[in-house]
Every structure is written in structure tokens, then in C-alpha cells.
Amino acid sequence: GQNIDQPTEMTATEGAIVQINCTYQTSGFNGLFWYQQHAGEAPTFLSYNVLDGLEEKGRFSSFLSRSKGYSYLLLKELQMKDSASYLCAVRGGFKTIFGAGTRLFVKA
Amino acid sequence: GAVVSQHPSRVICKSGTSVKIECRSLDFQATTMFWYRQFPKQSLMLMATSNEGSKATYEQGVEKDKFLINHASLTLSTLTVTSAHPEDSSFYICSASTTGSGTEAFFGQGTRLTVV
């Protein structure tokens, strides 16, 4: 089966850096996604990793270690609008399963 | 990115009636569409996977006779909640992808269903 773990909540200060971790177990690993979701809205795509290493995209970076079943999302220069839930999702075969999400609160 | 349109965004229906939710890929052909349900402060739970022209594959615990899925074309999938009950009230979200691995899923806007 598939299992995804990520922290429930995190709090960080505007302008700071925050790292959201995700550990997973799956068969037929076929990629890991990070999505941002604001309350009452659909998720929006942030990043995709299928090979080990760091992918950087502006203020957001995502890291993957397949041997450890581990990923993190790094958010730099935090802004108030970054307050949202961040979902780690793992594709096994052609099915994508989502973690419970990490609610990030950015304070001034 | 590609656009997925989901309609309606909000619907209120009476208990016992049926509700149809549409999911359309506007600028690409979606060979596979996924339907998720999300309860407040919880993650997206995959309900079913539908491939164009074939029967949907339902996740364990999801009643296929209650949640009817049709994927008649490469740009349209529908989810019909039959004989809706208050416990079916939830946020339903579709996503669509093209064939091949490594493609991100593009999400519709979601449908907030309230059964009264």
C-alpha cells in the first residue's frame, strides 16, 4: 500500500525560510508532487520530483531522496500569502495519493 | 499550464436527489481523470480513476452504484452522486492528466456539495 506522512501544522515568520518534510512508502514509485491549497480552493501545482536531488523554482525548492522515501519543500522569503496547506502527493503507477497536508501559518 | 474546468462550483440539493458534476479539460486531451473527495481539514481522498471509453476503477470503500462516473470523451468526465444524503456533503475535486508518467495532474476548481 501507500503511506504518506507530513507534519500537521507549522508556523513561520514573514521573510524567513521554512522546510516542510514528507516521508512516504509506495510501490512502483513514479514521482512526487507538492501542491499548495488555500482553504476552499483546489490544489495548485508547485513542483515535481522523480529523480534524486533538488529542484529549484523561484522561492520554492523541492528535494527528493528515493532511497530514503523522503522529500521536502523549501519556501524562502516567506510572504503572508504563503499561508496555506501544502500537500505532498506520491504517484505509484498511474495513481496519485495525497498526504494529509501541512498547514503553514505565516506571521508578521 | 493546462486548464481543467469543473462545474458547478457550488450546489445545494435535497436529500434523495441526484447531482451531476462535470469535469472538462479545455485545452488538452485527458486520457485519465481522477475524482477526489475532501472533507474539512482533511486531505484529498481518491474516489476513482476513469479512463476514456472504459469503466472507472473505484477505490476500496467507494460505492460505484452511488457515485456514477462517466468518461465518454477525452475532454469530459462526469460524476453523479445518486440519492444524495447529508453525509455526502463534501468538496469534490477532479483532476486530469495525459498519458505517460511524470505528468502533473491539473485540478478543476472543485465543487462544494451540500445536501440538506
Least confident range of A49-53, A63-67, B26-30: B26-30
The sign of the dihedral angle between the CA atoms of A58, A105, A85, B25 is: negative
What does the block give as the cell for A54?
Answer: 533538488
Torsion angles phi and psi, residue B75, rounded to 5? -125, 0
CA dist., res. A95 & res. B5, Å (int): 21
Which residue's C-alpha cell is 476500496? B60
Flag whether residue A69 sits within 8 Å of chain B, measured between CB atoms: no
User: How does residue B71 score in pLDDT terms, banded at 50, 70 and 90?
Assistant: confident
Look up residue B63 and give its amino acid.
E
Q: What integer pLDDT is reported at residue B103 of this predicted model?
A: 61
Mutate to test the interface with A, among B3, B21, B44, B51 (most CBs of A within 10 A): B44
CA dist., res. A100 & res. B101, Å (int): 23
Average confidence (pLDDT) over A56-66: 96
Rounded alpha-carbon distances, angstroms, from residue A29 to A3, A5, A42, A94:
12, 16, 24, 10
Average confidence (pLDDT) over A9-37: 95
Across the interface, which of A42, A100, A101 has its CB nearest the CB of B107? A42
- Computed over every residue of chain A, the mean pLDDT equals 93
Flag whether residue A99 sits within 8 Å of chain B, measured between CB atoms: yes
User: How does residue B101 score in pLDDT terms, banded at 50, 70 and 90?
Assistant: very low
Q: How many contacts does A have with B, using Cβ atoms within 8 A?
A: 50
Nearest chain A residue to B58 by CA: give it: A95
Q: What integer pLDDT is reported at residue A68 of this predicted model?
A: 96
Separation in Å, CA of A58 to nearest CA in chain B: 17
Q: What integer pLDDT is reported at residue B1 of this predicted model?
A: 62
Flag whether residue A9 sits within 8 Å of chain B, measured between CB atoms: no
Q: What integer pLDDT is reported at residue B20 of this predicted model?
A: 97
Has residue B100 got a pLDDT over 80?
Answer: no
Rounded alpha-carbon distances, angstroms, from residue B74 to A86, B42, B70:
30, 30, 11
Average confidence (pLDDT) over A19-27: 95
**Pick the residue with more confidence: A82 or A45?**
A82
Has residue A16 got a pLDDT over 80?
Answer: yes
Spatial contact of B11 and B90, defined as CB atoms under 8 Å apart: no
Question: Which three-class secondary structure state does DSSP give residue B87?
Answer: helix
